[in-house]
Amino acid sequence: MTKNLKHVSISLLLLGMASSVFALNEKQIRTEIQKRLGTSANVRNVTPSPIPGLFEVQVNNEIFYTDSNAKYLIQGEMVELASGNNLTTKRQEDINRIKWSELPQAQAFKVVRGNGSRQIAVFSDPNCGYCKRLEKTLQQLDNVTIYNYLIPILSADSALKSKQIWCAADQQKVWNDWMLNNLGPSGKSDCANPIDKNLTLAKNYGINGTPTIFFTDGSRFPGAVQLADIEKKLASLK
């Protein structure tokens, strides 16, 4: 029994030595992961994680983990037990952060309520049910400036409605009529518009669904979040 255990220990030691000898560097890991995932995935970066021998892999706008031989891709959250901090969520927020100052505000129609002192940007598809739900929530916000970016990602009808809303003389009224009261836009759709630019912007920001809210610190909230969560975030930015 002891002899067998000794053989196992020696085998594990040799395996560990082999793994360390053939361990890949970060550039090689990135190349290997990219090769295995194919062209549909964009392996943006590979960096060491807090756990020795485990690497963080940024694929598109998501975080995964892999070993030093790029043999396994691990999906899940890394939590530091001592502090209770979710390290994956924190890193996800960091890599998805944008620069507010670089938002092209001319590509959005602006809604101002009260003194407009608080600012958010919202990327929406006019045919998105969750966007309509969020719009009802946003009606309850005061002292806010909302930059609405139209991104028709659901259908050709979304593109038509987006253009009609943008071309309207009163964009906010037509937007509210549709999003709140289901009164569809019927005006022209052939004016100069930023819809294609918005779609490119959304792709560059890794927006995979609507609605998506951005705050002035560059952080984002995906989905039809609750009013209390929006208010809490805005309060933290003062």
Structure confidence by residue, pLDDT tens digits, 196-218: 999 999 998 989 899 999 999 99
**Domain identity same for 51 and 147:** no
Per-residue pLDDT at 71: 92
Q: Are residues 88 and 121 in the same domain?
A: no
- Smallest Cα–Cα separation from 125: which of 162, 180, 163, 168? 162
Query: What's the pTM?
Result: 0.75
Residue with tokens 């930015």: 237
Do residues 185 and 169 touch, judged by C-beta distance below 8 A? no
Q: Which amino acid is at 219?
A: S
223 and 154, same structural domain? yes
Quick one: 189 and 214 in the same domain? yes
H/E stretch holding 172 reads: helix 171-181
Query: What is the residue range of 9's domain?
Result: 2-95
Identity of residue 148? N
Question: What CATH number is given to the structural domain containing 153?
Answer: 3.40.30.10
Q: What's the rounded Cα separation, in Å, for the pair 181 and 183? A: 5
Residues 90-148: pLDDT tens digits? 888 888 899 999 999 999 999 999 999 999 999 999 999 999 999 999 999 999 999 99
* Cβ partners under 8 Å of residue 122, min gap 6: 134, 138, 146, 147, 148, 149, 211, 212, 213, 214
Number of domains present in the structure of the chain: 2
